Homo-oligomer: A and B are copies of this chain.
Amino acid sequence: MSSTLNNTLNRTEQREAEILDAAMNMFAEEGYHAVSTRKIAKRAGVSEGTLFNYFGAKHELMSGLLRAIYAELTENAQAVFRDISDTRARLDALALNHITVMSRDNALFMRLIQSYMNVDISGYTEIRQSVLHELNISYAWVFDFAVKEGMQRGEVREDINISALRDLFFGGLEYGSRSLFLHDAFDQCEERVASLVDPLWQSMRRDADPRAPENASKLDAVCERLESVATQLEKLPT
C-alpha cells in the first residue's frame, strides 16, 4: 500500500499518507473496532493529537481509506478500457483488477469494507447516504460501462438483466476472493477469475454458445441430414 499512497508529495500529504497506511494495515489485521486511534498513531509514528489534526474523527480514516482504494480501482479500470476493447477480455481484466486490489496486503480489503458497514451505517435506512454506498455505486459503473459498450458493438445481447449480472459479478468476486484466501491459493487467481467470468459471459454474449458443443453438433448433423432429404425431395417428380 505504501507505494500506492505515499507517492511523494509535500510534507503534510506525506504525513497523511503515513497515517492512512498505518490505519489500513491495522484495520485489515484486527478490524476497525479492535484498533484504537492510539495504536494507529503509534504505528504511524505521530502523536494522537496529530492524527486528529489530519483526520477529524476515526471514521474519517475509514472513508479516506475507502476513497483511496476506490480511486485506485477506478484508475485501473480506466486503463482497462483504454487498453482493451474486447468485451470479454475487459471483464476478465476488471475482475482480475478487483480481486487483486481486494486481496493485496494479505487479502484483507474485504475486511475493511465489512468493518465499514458497521461504522458508517447505523441503520439500514442510512445505507444510501454512506460513503461506502456512494463509492460502490460509482464504481459499479465500471461493469455497466463494459457491458453497454459490448452491446453497442454487438458483442453483448440486449435482452440481459444487467443488474442481476452485476450482482453476480461483484458478489462472485467477493466470495471468490474469500475462497482464494481460505485456500492460500492466490497463485490461481487468474484461473479462478476466468471460471467466475465465464458463466456470466456465456449468458450475455451474442454468439452461439460454444459451450454446448454436443448439442450444437447434433443440431448441425440433423440440419445436414434434413437438408439432404429436402434436396432429394425437391428433386422428386411431383
Q: How far is the CB of A194 from chain B (nearest CB, A)?
A: 9
Total copies of this chain within the assembly = 4
Whether B157 lies near A213 (C-beta < 8 A) is yes
Task: Tell me whether A127 is interfacial, beta carbon within 8 Å.
Answer: yes
Contacts from A to B (Cβ < 8 Å): 28-34, 106-108, 111, 114-115, 117-118, 121-124, 127-128, 133, 157, 159, 161, 163-168, 170-176, 178-179, 181-182, 192, 195-196, 198-200, 202-204, 206-209, 211-216, 218-219, 221-223, 225-230, 232-236, 238
Whether A107 lies near B124 (C-beta < 8 A) is yes
Among B124, B159, B171, the residue within 8 A (CB) of A171 is: B171
Whether A167 lies near B182 (C-beta < 8 A) is no
Q: How far is the CB of A107 from chain B (nearest CB, A)?
A: 7
Q: How far is the CB of A125 from chain B (nearest CB, A)?
A: 9
Whether B215 lies near A216 (C-beta < 8 A) is yes
Task: Given the known inter-chain contacts A199-B202, A202-B203, A216-B208, please indicate yes or no for A128 contacting B182, CB distance below 8 A.
Answer: yes
Closest residue on chain B to residue A211 by CB atoms? B203
24 contacts between A and B (CB under 8 A): A29-B123, A31-B122, A32-B118, A111-B118, A118-B118, A127-B182, A164-B195, A167-B196, A168-B175, A171-B171, A171-B175, A199-B202, A206-B214, A207-B215, A208-B215, A209-B212, A212-B215, A215-B215, A222-B223, A222-B226, A225-B227, A226-B229, A233-B233, A236-B238
